[in-house]
Structure formats: C-alpha cells, structure tokens
C-alpha cells in the first residue's frame, strides 16, 4: 500500500477510461457520482451520455462541490449537485427524485483540491491547521481534537490498522510525550514529530516518512471505512437491473471491504450482482508516469442482477 498519497488531480481523473468501460454511460441514463470531488469523472460521464444522460453529483465537502459546480455548469439541468455523505445516498437522492440509477461511481479518498489546500490540514507538505475533516460543516472532530484525547494504545492501533505503520509505537509515544507540554495543532509540527520518531535509516524511499501517519489520521477523522461499508450497501439498493457500480480505492483495507462486499452479493441465491472485474483493475504504466498519484488505484465493478 506504499504511497496512498495517491488520489486524483482534478485535471486527470484516475482510471477514467476503465471507469467509463464499466459504467457504459448512455443517453437517457441516470448516474450518481457519489464522490464528485472536482467533477472530473462526472464531466466525462455527462459527455459520454450526451445529449440526455443525467448525473447527480454528491460530496461531503461543500468547498469541492462549489468547484464541481463551475466545471459542470456547462451541462445545465442534466446535472444536479448535492452536499452529503454517501452513506445516506438513498435518502439524499430520493429527496431530489433521483433514484434509481443506471450507474453509481465511488472514487474514494481525498481530492487534489483537499490535499493542496493548506488550510484543510491534509498534507504534511504544507503548514496548516491539523484539521483533516472532509465535511467542515459537520460535527466531526478534527485531527487535532482526536490527537488531544486518544489514548496511546488506541493511537498505536489506529496507526497500524489504517496506516500499516511499522513504527506506530514510537510515533504514538512521541505524540503523547509532546502533547503533555503543548497541544498538537499544525501539520508541520506533526510531520516533524513523526520524522523524529522514526530512525533515519528506516525512512521510506518513495514516500514521506509522515505519509502513513497522515493517511491513518485522515481515515479515522472521517470514519472512512465504516462509511464505505454503509455507502456500498446503500448503493446496491438503488441500482436498476443491469445498472452498474464502479468503485475506485487507494487503500488495501478499502479494497478488501469492496472485494468482500461485491463477492458476497454475487454469491447470494439468486445473485444480487454479477462481477465485472474478477481482479481489480489498476492504472497502466503510462497513467502512473503521467500521474504518480494514481499508482495505488484499484477499480472494481459489478452489475445489478
């Protein structure tokens, strides 16, 4: 899972051709982009389904939605955007008279917009507040609040589970020691602590030494794994027969959840879905060359029976 700093660059949606091949957008179809982000995949789905395909774009980040609105404005009333969490996608779409869907896309993780915006606190590369909340309007705790209260033992588990961090114990001990003298409030402060906790000879070669810690905190702050499980269960209920679900993930834990969920549905009697990808589809070498953030992307798809 080396390098799940991945994600998407706004201009270059990850696994775009592969996503379109799974979703097969067509005129008249109705699509849900459950993680519309900056609208890159959504734009392509709307173009492919012209002139009459429609798309509902959802995101829990209101700031990202404002950017998506600009990008997708050209499609007029073929597109509608909704602020909300995909673990409630049925209710959110139903309120707008949108269900059911012929295709649903999840492109998980954070967007380049979130990562590049220092004030959001997602990146160890930029000095900013330790926030990391995707939805700043909600009642979630920020990373700073989480780090102020979590026990050392829980922090070790969090770093091991969500970050697959070998040095979890040392990092957690450093954090707990530091917060006894001063609160952890900035990304740079946390990145420095992690760098000091991990012996120099053990620093990873391809990624920043704090990558895994930041990733683990982001996943915990946003409760990403539980929401993914609920989001998938919601999605399958609102697909038409023959409708397709396509999920792009960047983390081995996410991929495991997706794989097991899709396979579980395919094994039901009668099956709920037909698998379209026995193995996950990854990026081509060309895509990774052009967009290194795509390197850990995995795509899985299924069709509703």
Q: Min. distance of Cβ 138 from ligand SAM in angstroms?
A: 11
Q: Min. distance of Cβ 242 from ligand SAM in angstroms?
A: 23
Interface with ligand SAM (CB under 6 A), residue from 46, 54, 111, 261: 111
CB burial of 112-141 (b: ≥16 within 10 Å; e: otherwise) equals bbbbebeebbbbbbbebebbbbbbeeeebe
Q: Which residues 41-80 are close enough to bind ligand SAM by CB under 6 A?
A: 41, 58-61, 64
Does residue 232 belong to the site contacting ligand SAM (CB under 6 A)? no
Q: Which stretch binds ligand SAM (CB under 6 A): 2-10, 149-157, 198-206, 278-286?
A: 2-10
Cβ distance 45 to 23 under 8 Å? yes
Q: Which stretch binds ligand SAM (CB under 6 A): 5-13, 95-103, 162-170, 289-297?
A: 5-13
Does residue 234 belong to the site contacting ligand SAM (CB under 6 A)? no
Q: Min. distance of Cβ 175 from ligand SAM in angstroms?
A: 25
Residue given tokens 């609102």 in the structure block: 238
CB of 151 or CB of 233, closer to ligand SAM: 233
Structure tokens, 185: 């409030």
Structure tokens, 268: 């039901």
Helices in the chain by DSSP H: which ranges? 16-23, 40-48, 62-72, 89-95, 112-116, 143-149, 152-163, 168-181, 187-197, 211-221, 224-237, 252-267, 285-290
Distance CA 202, CA 192 (A): 15
Q: Which stretch binds ligand SAM (CB under 6 A): 30-38, 160-168, 257-265, 266-274?
A: 30-38
Q: Min. distance of Cβ 32 from ligand SAM in angstroms?
A: 11
Residue given tokens 């399958």 in the structure block: 236
The residue ranges that bind ligand SAM (CB under 6 A) are 7-8, 10, 13, 35, 37-41, 58-61, 64, 85-87, 107, 109-111, 134, 227
């Amino acid at each position: 899972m080396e390098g799940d700093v991945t994600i998407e660059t706004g201009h270059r949606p990850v696994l775009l051709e592969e996503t379109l091949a799974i979703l097969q957008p067509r005129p008249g179809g109705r699509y849900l982009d459950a993680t519309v982000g900056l609208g890159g995949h959504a734009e392509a789905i709307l173009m492919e389904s012209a002139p009459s395909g429609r798309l509902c774009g959802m995101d829990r980040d209101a700031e990202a939605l404002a950017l998506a609105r600009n990008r997708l404005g050209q499609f007029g009333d073929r597109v509608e955007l909704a602020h909300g969490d995909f673990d409630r996608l049925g209710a959110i779409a139903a309120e707008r008279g949108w269900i059911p869907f012929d295709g649903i896309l999840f492109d998980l993780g954070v967007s380049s917009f979130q990562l590049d915006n220092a004030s959001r606190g997602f990146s160890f590369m930029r000095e900013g507040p330790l926030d990391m909340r995707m939805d700043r309007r909600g009642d979630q705790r920020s990373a700073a609040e989480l780090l102020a209260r979590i026990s050392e033992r829980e922090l070790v588990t969090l770093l091991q589970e969500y970050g697959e961090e070998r040095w979890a114990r040392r990092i957690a001990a450093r954090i707990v020691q530091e917060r006894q003298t001063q609160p952890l409030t900035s990304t740079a402060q946390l990145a420095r602590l992690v760098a000091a906790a991990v012996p120099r000879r053990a620093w990873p070669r391809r990624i920043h030494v704090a990558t895994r810690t930041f990733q683990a905190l982001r996943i915990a702050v946003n409760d990403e794994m539980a929401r993914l499980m609920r989001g998938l269960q919601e999605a399958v209920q609102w697909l038409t027969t023959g409708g397709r679900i396509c999920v792009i993930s960047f983390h081995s834990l996410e991929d495991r959840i997706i794989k097991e969920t899709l396979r579980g549905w395919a094994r039901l009697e009668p099956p709920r879905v037909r698998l379209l990808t026995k193995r996950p589809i990854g990026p081509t070498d060309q895509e990774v060359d052009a967009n290194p953030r795509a390197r850990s992307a995995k795509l899985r798809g299924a069709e509703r029976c």
